[in-house]
Amino acid sequence: MDLLQSLAALITLAAIFNYLNHRYLKMPTTIGIMAMALALSLVIMAAGMVFPGMATGAEEMLSGIDFNKTLMHGMLGLLLFAGALHVDLGDLTKQKTVVGILATVGVTASTFMVGGMTWVLLVKLMGIDIPFIYCLLFGALISPTDPIAVLGILKTLGAPRPLATKITGESLFNDGVGVVVFIALLGVAGLDASHGEVGPGSVALLFAQEALGGAIFGLIIGYGAFLLLRSVDDYQVEILISLALVMGGYTFAQALHLSGPIAMVVAGLLIGNQGRALAMSSSTREHLDTFWELIDEILNAILFVLIGLEVLILELRGQHLLAGVLAIPITLLARFIAVGTPIALMGVRRRFTEHAIKMLTWGGLRGGISVALALWLGELMPPEMATTRDLLLVMTYVVVCFSILVQGLTIGPLVGRLGLRQDGGNPDAPIQASS
pLDDT at 81 over 50: yes
- The closest alpha carbon to 149, from 392, 403, 430, 328, belongs to 403
Q: What is the mean pLDDT of residues 36-41?
A: 94
Give the pLDDT confidence of 312-342 residue by residue, as tens digits. Answer: 888 889 999 999 999 999 999 999 999 999 9
What is the C-alpha separation between 288 and 285, in angstroms, rounded? 5
pLDDT at 267 over 60: yes
What residue type is assigned to position 229 of the chain? L
What DSSP string runs through 228-293?
Answer: HHHT---HHHHHHHHHHHHHHHHHHHHHTT--HHHHHHHHHHHIIIIIHHHS--HHHHHHHHHHHH
pLDDT: is 230 or 50 the higher one? 230
What is the C-alpha separation between 72 and 85, in angstroms, rounded? 19
Give the pLDDT confidence of 415-426 residue by residue, as tens digits. Answer: 888 887 765 444
Q: What is the mean pLDDT of residues 131-159?
A: 83
Lowest mean pLDDT among 16-25, 69-78, 240-249, 268-277: 69-78
- The closest alpha carbon to 323, from 254, 377, 227, 396, belongs to 396
Q: Can you say whether the dihedral through the CA atoms of 294, 423, 102, 369 is positive or negative?
A: negative
Q: Are 185 and 140 in contact (CB under 8 A)?
A: yes
Element (H, E) at 211: none
- Residue 422 has a pLDDT of 66
pLDDT: is 133 or 52 the higher one? 133
Query: Confidence band (pLDDT; 50, 70, 90) for 235?
Result: very high
- Kindly state the DSSP code that residue 191 receives in the 8-state scheme: S
Q: What is the mean pLDDT of residues 218-225?
A: 97
What is the C-alpha separation between 76 and 349, in angstroms, rounded? 36
Q: What is the mean pLDDT of residues 206-229?
A: 93
Q: Are 166 and 422 in contact (CB under 8 A)?
A: no
> Average per-residue pLDDT in the chain?
88
Cβ-proximal residues to 257 (8 Å cutoff; 6+ apart), any chain = 209, 210
Q: Are 319 and 392 in contact (CB under 8 A)?
A: no
What DSSP string runs through 85-110?
Answer: TTS-HHHHHHTHHHHHHIIIIIHHHH
pLDDT at 183 over 80: yes
- Residue 198 has a pLDDT of 62
Q: Are 308 and 34 in contact (CB under 8 A)?
A: yes
What DSSP string runs through 118-169?
Answer: HHIIIIIIS-----HHHHHHHHHHHSSPPHHHHHHHHTT----HHHHHHHHH
Q: Are 232 and 188 in contact (CB under 8 A)?
A: no
What residue type is assigned to position 237 of the chain? V
- Residue 352 has a pLDDT of 84
Residues above pLDDT 90, as percent of the chain: 58
Q: Where are the alpha helices (DSSP H) in 258-407?
A: 260-270, 276-278, 282-309, 318-346, 356-362, 368-380, 386-401
Give the pLDDT confidence of 372-390 residue by residue, as tens digits. Answer: 999 999 999 999 999 999 9
- Residue 158 has a pLDDT of 65
What is the C-alpha separation between 331 and 268, in angstroms, rounded? 30
Q: What is the mean pLDDT of residues 220-235?
A: 96
Q: What is the mean pLDDT of residues 41-64?
A: 79
- Residue 433 has a pLDDT of 33
Query: Confidence band (pLDDT; 50, 70, 90) for 427?
Result: very low
What is the C-alpha separation between 245 and 435, in angstroms, rounded? 29
Total-model pTM: 0.90
pLDDT at 432 over 70: no
Q: What is the mean pLDDT of residues 48-68?
A: 77
- Residue 208 has a pLDDT of 84
What residue type is assigned to position 416 of the chain? G
pLDDT at 428 over 50: no
Query: Confidence band (pLDDT; 50, 70, 90) for 154?
Result: low
pLDDT: is 65 or 192 the higher one? 65
What is the C-alpha separation between 328 and 312, in angstroms, rounded? 21
pLDDT at 157 over 90: no
Give the pLDDT confidence of 279-298 residue by residue, as tens digits. Answer: 999 999 999 999 999 999 99
- The closest alpha carbon to 303, from 19, 37, 28, belongs to 37
